[in-house]
Amino acid sequence: MSQPLLEVEGVVRRLGGRRVLDGVRLNLARGQCCVLSGDNGSGKTTLLRILSGLEAADAGMLRFQGVQTRLPGYPDDWRLRVVYVHQHPYLFHSSVAGNIAYGLKARGEPRETWRQKVEEAIDWAGVRDVVAVPPQKLSGGEKQRVAMARAKVLSPQLLLLDEPTANLDADGRRRTMELLARLFAEGVSVLIACHDRELIELPGVQRLHLENGKLL
């Protein structure tokens, strides 16, 4: 059996005396889509933030592509392979294309290659018709799709999406679901925290449920 992409063991996160995560353990295979459900405050976002290195855990171990780290340590080069998208994504005060290009530029990608990739990502996300609109003026669904394109263009080995369909109108939700389906089809490894019943019940996804800081 091939080595899992990500192994998580005994992750503990305490906040104000409460164990938000209480010994979480999970394995994620390469190319797998995993949906993490749970009530508000169950620790879904906290777990995703820990996996992306944005938040420190109090204890636990991560093994990513066979490389192990003891939390709260987080190797800096993992940030080039694991990308997290907020529930309400922040788009920088630049253009849509500038936002999508941000990570490529940060990685020192040559101009001629990132321009091509950005153009492809714009089409992938279906945001060609809003490229001239200031990002702050986009709808919630459009922002979500730009943020997904901005993450996907980096070809991450693990994509962490926090409630990608929450607070979207019907059209925004439908188009985001289409993008997610395309991600799954392309074999991108994705871990999604969500409440969305339709997303949780998608065929072929691994389902996990967090309750009182424990993974069921």
Partner 1 sequence: MGLLEPTREAFALLLQGDPELLQIIWLSLWLSLAAIALISPPSIALGLLLAKRRFPGQRAMVVLVQALLSFPTVVVGLVIYLLLSRRGPLGSFELLFSPSAIVIGYMVIAFPILVVFTVSAVQGADPRVYETARSLGASRIRAGLTILWEVRFGITAAVVNAFGRVVSEVGCAIMVGGNIAGLTRNMPTAIALETSKGDFAQGIALGMVLMALALGINILMALLQGEGGLK
Closest CB to partner 1 among 92 and 186?
A: 92
Provide, rounded to whole angstroms, the least separation between the CB of residue 104 and partner 1: 9
In terms of DSSP H, where are the helices of 126-192?
140-152, 170-185
Phi, psi for residue 203 in degrees, rounded to 5: -70, 145
Closest CB to partner 1 among 105 and 174?
A: 105
Cβ contact 91:99 at 8 Å: yes
Rounded to 10 deg, the angle between the 111-125 and 96-106 helix axes is 130
| CA angle, residues 53, 180, 33, in degrees to nearest 5 | 60
What is the C-alpha to C-alpha distance for residues 183 and 189, in angstroms, rounded to an integer? 8
Closest CB to partner 1 among 107 and 207?
A: 107
* Binding footprint of partner 1, residue count (CB under 8 A): 22
Which residues, numbered 13-42, are part of the site for partner 1 (CB under 8 A)? none
Q: Check residue 136 for interaction with partner 1 (CB under 8 A).
A: yes
Which residues, numbered 66-105, are part of the site for partner 1 (CB under 8 A)? 79-80, 83-86, 88-90, 92-93, 102-103
* Interacting residues toward partner 1 by CB under 8 A: 52-54, 79-80, 83-86, 88-90, 92-93, 102-103, 106-107, 136, 150-151, 154
